[in-house]
Structure 1
Amino acid sequence: MHEISLLENVREILQEHAHSQDFKQVIKLTLEIGKFSCVEPDALRFGFDVVMQDTLAEGAELILIESPGKGVCNACGQESILDKLYDPCEFCKHPFVNITQGNDMMIKDLVVI
């Protein structure tokens, strides 16, 4: 389950920012998860409390937002919204679309004190 490793990385990022931006506690954390990121939201929710125990994010509210998949067509250059990783271009139906959004996870918002 790589979600635990991802949460450990989030915890490290929070600790670094707490030090540099002088906050003591995370009240709410919003993570944006790309549609094609292979991150399982239920696994993140399951592991969040365990990974954040005894840290500045213990007891924080976790909000997960899914970002859509997008890509640019190699043939027509149009940006398409993609439901599946290998969907063709929605405009010209060309099979090769370069993914531009939806394969990452990032901290979208923090509420801290």
Structure 2
Amino acid sequence: MHELTICANLIELLDGERRRRGFRTVKRLRLEIGRFSCLDPEALRFAFEISSRDTFLHAAALEIERPPGRATCLDCGAAVEVESRLDACPHCGGVRLDPTGGDRMRLIEMEVR
């Protein structure tokens, strides 16, 4: 489960920010996990709950946004948003889509105390 590794890296990153900026705890985290990413939001939620126990993140609410994937249709040239890599182009029905976005995780916002 690579979600545990991702949570460990996130906690390490946030701990560095906590020391640098001087806040004590995190009340809320908002993440964006693109639909083309290889992350399962529920597995990440579970991993975060386990990984953040007994840390400055132990009571933090985790909010996850799931933006659609973005691709360029190689048949009609349209820039499209799709829910899955297997979706057809909503403009022409073509199935040759070249992914251009929606494959990453990023921290959008955090609320600290």
User: What do the CA deviations read for 1:72-105 (whole angstroms, capped 9, x no partner)?
Assistant: 2234432111122133332234433221222111
Residue in structure 2 matched with residue 3 of structure 1 by the alignment: 3
SS of structure 1 residue aligned to 2:14? helix
Deviation at 1:8, TM superposition (A): 0.8
Q: In the TM superposition, what is the alpha-carbon distance from 1:20 to its structure 2 partner?
A: 2.5
The match for 2:19 is 19
TM normalised by structure 2 equals 0.86
1:19-98 matches, cutoff 5 A: 19-98=19-98
Structure 2 unaligned blocks of 5 or more: none
- Give the distance between the partners of 2:33 and 2:95, measured in 1 at CA: 25
CA shift, 1:107, in A, is 1.0
* CA deviation vs aligned residue, 1:2-42 (integer Å, no higher than 9, x gap): 11111111111111221222222100011111112121122
Structure 1 SS opposite 2:66:
strand
SS in 2 for 1:100: strand
Letter in 2 for 1:56: F
TM-score by length of 1: 0.86
Q: Write out per-residue CA displacement over residues 42-74 of structure 1, whole angstroms, 9 at most, x where no aligned residue.
A: 212222122012222111111111111111223
Contact 1:71-1:81 within 8 A present in 2 as well: yes
Unaligned runs of 5+ in 1: none
Read off the aligned partner of 2:32 and give its amino acid letter: E
Paired positions, count = 113
Identity of aligned residues (%): 34
